[in-house]
Amino acid sequence: MGAQSNTQAAVKVDELQTPIIKTKEELKNLTRKLATEKNNLSKQQDEAAKHKDLLKALDEEITQYQKQEAELEAGYEELKKSGSGEGSAVLTEEQETEYEQVREMAAVASAKPRITLNQSKEKLEAARRKAGDIETELKEVVARKDESAKSVKVLTERRDTLMKVCVFHLMFSLLHVCL
């Protein structure tokens, strides 16, 4: 009867070994994935910072173009007003045409930076969304890792308890045989 108890206890210990090994392997995999996700998050944050700097530079450039345009517009209006008191135009047709050309060139010159700014803003938003997704996934992986660690602990405790029971039954059987 004691040998049968020992055998059953040994079978239970063997049954617990497989889940423990699987859980440890899953824990290792999750730890590796966690490290990878942290690296990816760091890269995304670096990229977002670079995009932010680029956006700032483009904003400054656009502001400069807008100031130039406003100055040109103010100069044009001043020239118009400084004509004769009778409200006649100060600018000739040539001057008017030249002014319009300068104005169009300023608009064209600021178009590319505006397009680049919008594209960079879109990339930044995409990078932020991706970083948020990675951060969420990272939290999930950490939670699964913690859960696996708890599972390993519980299974290890169960195995140790079963081992104690096996030893107790073995000692009891030996004591019973010796008496």
Domains of the chain, CATH where assigned = 2-178 (1.10.287.1490)
Chain mean position to CA 130 = 5
Q: What is the pLDDT of residues 133-155, one digit of tens each?
A: 988 988 888 898 889 889 888 88
**pTM across the whole model:** 0.44
| Average of per-residue pLDDT across 63-77 | 83
| Average of per-residue pLDDT across 85-107 | 75
Give the percent of the chain with pLDDT over 90.
3
Q: What is the pLDDT of residues 4-28, one digit of tens each?
A: 777 887 777 777 788 888 888 888 8
How far the first Cα of the chain sits from its last, in Å, is: 15
Please report the DSSP string for 100-147 in residue order: HHHHHHHHHHHHHHHHHHHHHHHHHHHHHHHHHHHHHHHHHHHHHHHH
The Cβ of residue 83 has, within 10 Å, a number of other Cβ atoms equal to 12
Question: Above 50 in pLDDT, residue 84?
Answer: no
* Closest by Cα among 62, 37, 40, 48 to 125: 48
CA angle 26/31/34 to nearest 5° reads 125
